[in-house]
Every structure is written in C-alpha cells, then in structure tokens.
C-alpha cells in the first residue's frame, strides 16, 4: 500500500536529500492551511503550528511505497524522536486525502524563522 507524504524541506525536488525519494511518484505541489511556519533546525527545516501565520507552508506531495517510507522514517530520525510522522491536513486538491508529514517535536524557541518555503 502506498502512502501520500508531504515534504517541505531537503526531500523536495532539487534539494540535497531528494535522492531518498528516488523511484517514487511525485503527485503535486501542496500547501498547508494557514497556521504553520518553518523554522531552521540547522541545515534542515521543522514545521510548527503558529496561529498568527497566514500563508501556510509550501511543499510537495509524493506517493511512496512501504520500503521507502520505512527508510525515510529512519532517515528522519522517527525512532530517535527527531521527527514524528503524522497525518497532516493540506489545502485542496489534497484536503480530502490522507497525507502524512514529518513534524518536529523539538522546542524551537530561539530558532530562526524561515517562513512558508524552505530554500537551501
């Protein structure tokens, strides 16, 4: 069974870690609803809920197979607590679909705010 995954940082096309999505299917560009913002975690972003954010976060939606999802969980440090993979709401055309994203559980106080799009 394939999983839809929203990526918003180094896994996007043309970014440094995109090779981890090799062989997977790009579905389209996606955007979170307002209320989310990116923060710099030291060379890669973390997404955080911010009620004052009006733009949301821009990223890509990919269809990934189970083996790739398992590798991505390890790469993203899910088992070490660096990220959690969670169901994540997106704006149309993905609003009615189950899409996952890697969410940082870290305290981002004092981290540099990036805005709505990660640019390496």
- The residues annotated with a catalytic role in the active site are 76
Q: What sign has the CA pseudo-torsion 11, 14, 19, 22? A: positive
Domain count across the chain: 1
- 24 lies in some domain: yes
Q: What is the CATH number of the domain that holds 77?
A: 3.10.490.10
Rounded to the nearest angstrom, the gap between the alpha carbon of residue 31 and the centroid of all alpha carbons in its chain is 10
Position 41 scores a pLDDT of 87
pTM for this entry: 0.92
Residue 61 and residue 38: Cα distance in Å, rounded?
A: 17
- 120 lies in some domain: no
The low-confidence residues of the chain, meaning pLDDT below 70, are 120
Position 49 scores a pLDDT of 82
Rounded to the nearest angstrom, the gap between the alpha carbon of residue 23 and the centroid of all alpha carbons in its chain is 18
Residue 3 and residue 46: Cα distance in Å, rounded?
A: 21
Position 120 scores a pLDDT of 67
- 29 lies in some domain: yes
Position 13 scores a pLDDT of 95
Position 11 scores a pLDDT of 96
- Residues linked to residue 87 through DSSP beta bridges, in sequence order: 100
Position 74 scores a pLDDT of 97
Determine the structural domain holding residue 48 and report its residue range: 3-115
């Amino acid at each position: 069974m394939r999983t839809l995954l929203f990526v918003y940082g180094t896994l996007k096309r043309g970014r440094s870690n995109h090779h981890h999505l090799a062989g997977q299917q790009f579905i389209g560009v996606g955007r979170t609803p307002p209320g989310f913002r990116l923060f710099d975690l030291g060379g890669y972003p973390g997404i955080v809920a911010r009620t004052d954010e009006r733009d949301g976060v821009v990223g890509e939606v990919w269809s990934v197979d189970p083996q790739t999802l398992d590798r991505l969980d390890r790469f993203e440090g899910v088992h070490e607590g660096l990220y959690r993979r969670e169901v994540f709401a997106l704006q149309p055309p993905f609003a009615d679909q189950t899409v996952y994203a890697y969410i940082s559980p870290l305290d981002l106080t004092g981290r540099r705010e990036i805005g709505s799009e990660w640019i390496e």
